[in-house]
Structure 1
């Protein structure tokens, strides 16, 4: 009996160590992967190097976002075949090589291929797979695990902003990309070596009617899957559009000075990180769909202010902070929400498809603005989608099991 107890304690201790090392490795990896959100620093230097308009160069980030989302949806298949460690190392090598290649491009199409397609694919392959793998280790604290991992992703954009800005200011474009690529590759490989593939989670039922561990084929047949997809797309569209053009909104829409408008970037970074931490932790205490409802309401308040208020500097900061807070919180809570609805074991596959809304949402705002003439039209579409999403949040319930199947299984 004593030997059995000792073995059990040793096994538990080893599992705790594996969980901790995987969490730390995921945080390090996510921090490095989040560096892609410093891309706006490079638009002007690359535009000068390529002799192209900044708007044409900036479009590469839209391609990156879409490629990131597509790669995220495919990463589960790579993990199933090669394991989280090997796939993450592969993503690190591709990301580092791509960053080093970007500074040598001489044509716009080459920039779209490297900075858009390849960089987005490398980042997306590592992002969702390592996040989902980490969350599976903490079924009792899914929100907190997501908050740590995705919070690190957000912090990465802030940390690498200063690193990249330092080298851009004190060195040249080539050196900046080379240092960025070397740092990211090293950090992600170290993080990968700390990770272990999460074991299959025992299927448990939170209630008599809650369905668990649906495959992607089963999940897409439920109305709940598409409801969550609409909500996620709406928040991503709102957040990515406002975050991406906040400085322009401040200058041309609110008529602030260049310095005052630029300060919105710092406000957004703080609000985004706060949303990830606050709503992520809250999601372990109350229903996650209620937390997403809160995020939608906060975003709605921000967009209402942008659309209908006579904005000054402070009200503008309030509005963009609301949108960024909502976006950060939603991105953090959604993986756990999807696992609540469709199970942990197939989280990467199920959330991967929903996550396509991130890439699609990143383009919709810009398309609406170009077709219908500016910020007001986009804010109007956002408002309509947010109202619809709020109604969906209030009414959606987790999928229910097929009772006849339950009875057959019991009889067997």
Structure 2
């Protein structure tokens, strides 16, 4: 009996990690949105800007709802939050097929509902990777965010197969929703159980408002700096991935080349998250400056040379590669300075830059492409935003030579540890 218990305990972390990776793989399908945009516009009679507002609202909800999810995970447990959010994610894909299609229905279901479902599942999966096997935290988080990035590759090819076989776009979404729902609910059951309630005498039991009031000026300043840098990076990345197929067709390519661009972006996104994290360990905050410069170069290259079919995936890979930096570097910087507890209490606020970038990036790109009939204007604006972010961050580094050094003591109490469930 003891041998069976030991074997169960040994398997629990790997079951949890399997569930976390499957959750991330499903949620990453959101970046395949542009695969369906043209068919959605034709079949549901929505204009290009409205179709991008669906993507923008989804991404904004994903970012904003991470803030309350950080508080709900310890309270309700990983399984309950991930399972409920997985159901919302699935329903957001299926309800437009059952309801009369309209901009309001699409934005509220495929936008708001899916974004809400993403926030809880994403945070639950990251929490598993950070706590179940602490001695492999970096590797496990790297695998999780890479799985999220690769989810778009699978979803884009599956979506193209459905559309090529004359599936109506809303029927295709409904089928994908059923698949996602089954995988997400099953994966949620593999996650660890809830942690024991925190003691009322520990600092972690203080109200969130009390913890926020204890943040130092340096933490607030660093969080603002990371917010602006993340906004500058994500603005261009979300503009490109949200309009990938329209960008390809505007350049004279076929939609299939756009799908190749989505795959290249996703591969770059996955590889970039691992690469930039490793470089940060060696170079520190200066890595953020280089990532912003590389994003500007990739966007300019896509505008100038993307008309060549063999260069289009090269530069979309570059944009995705730099886009992935924003999901690793700012969290790494905050953790290096203030300790890992900052990821639960402060990083979700920094992550709202991702939502703001979605609201500004994808619809702006769609509007400018429709207005100008080309891609030069939107990509030039995105490259300019990256360069401004690079200059601002470089100025912060030059004005504070000790920027990035660990703060002592950490300003936040340790985040509650989630324990693996016993079978």
| Paired position in structure 2 for 1:298 | 294
* Alignment partner of 2:14 out of 20, 29, 49: 20
Q: TM-score, normalised by structure 2?
A: 0.77
Q: CA deviation at 1:124?
A: 1.6
Report whether the alignment pairs 1:264 with 2:261. Answer: yes
With over 3 angstroms needed to count, the CA separation of the structure-2 counterparts of 1:217 and 1:225, relative to structure 1, is farther
Change in Cα spacing, 1:324 to 1:84, as seen in structure 2 (3 Å) is: same
- Partner residue in 1 for 2:74: 80
Distance of aligned partners of 1:124 and 1:301 in 2 relative to their CA distance in 1, 3 Å threshold: same
Distance (Å, rounded) in 1 between the aligned partners of 2:105 and 2:149: 28
| Residue 162 in structure 1 maps to residue 157 in structure 2 | yes
Query: CA separation of 1:177/1:334 partners in 2, compared to 1, >3 Å: closer, same or farther?
Result: same
Cα shift readout 1:150-209 (whole Å, capped 9, x = no counterpart): 111112111122233333333444542332122111111222111115879xxxxxxxxx
Mapped pair 1:38 → 2:29 = no
Counterpart residue number, 1:410: none
Q: Residue 103 of structure 1: CA displacement?
A: 1.7
The correspondence of residues 2-401 of structure 1 with structure 2, limited to 5 A, is 17-104=11-98, 105-170=100-165, 171-196=167-192, 215-219=211-215, 221=217, 222=219, 223-249=221-247, 252=250, 255-258=251-254, 262=258, 263-280=260-277, 286=282, 289-305=285-301, 313=308, 317-365=313-361, 374-375=377-378, 376-392=380-396, 396-398=403-405, 400-401=407-408
Greater mean deviation of Cα atoms: 271-280 or 142-151: 271-280
The answer to whether the 8 Å contact 2:146/2:270 transfers is: yes
Q: Distance in 2 between matches of 1:299 and 1:236?
A: 10
Q: How many residues align?
A: 379
Kindly provide the CA deviation profile for residues 317-363 of structure 1, in whole angstroms up to 9, marking residues without a partner as x: 54433221011233144444433333324523322111101011122
Query: Closer, same or farther in 2 for the Cα pair 1:12/1:327, shift >3 Å?
Result: farther
The gaps in structure 1 that reach 5 residues or longer are 1-6, 201-213, 404-412
More off after superposition, 296-305 vs 265-274: 296-305
Q: Distance in 2 between matches of 1:69 and 1:82?
A: 20
Give per-residue Cα distances to partners, 1:240-281, cap 9 Å, x unaligned: 1233334545555xx554469634333322222221233345
Q: What's the secondary structure of 1:355's corresponding residue?
A: helix
Give 1:25 shift.
Answer: 1.3
Structure 2 unmatched runs, 5+ = 197-209, 411-423
Distance 2:336 2:84 in 1: 30
Q: TM-score by structure 1 length? A: 0.79
Distance 1:126 1:100 in 2: 18
Q: Which residue of 2 aligns with 1:211?
A: none
1:95 to partner: Cα distance: 1.5
* Residue pair 1:136, 1:198 contacting (<8 A) in 2 also: no
SS in structure 1 opposite 2:340? coil
* C-alpha distance in structure 2 between counterparts of 1:303 and 1:143, whole Å: 29
Rounded to whole Å, the distance in 1 between the matches of 2:57 and 2:43 is: 20
CA contact (8 A) 2:21 2:147 kept: yes
Residue-by-residue CA offset, 1:268-307 (whole Å, 9 max, x unaligned): 2222222123334555x53553544443342243245457
Looking at structure 2, the residues matched to 380 and 266 of structure 1 have their Cα atoms a distance apart, in angstroms, of 25
CA distance in 1, matches of 2:272, 2:140: 14
Cα offset for 1:14? Answer: 6.7
**Higher mean displacement: 228-237 or 190-199:** 190-199
Contact residue 55 and residue 358 of structure 2 kept, 8 A: no
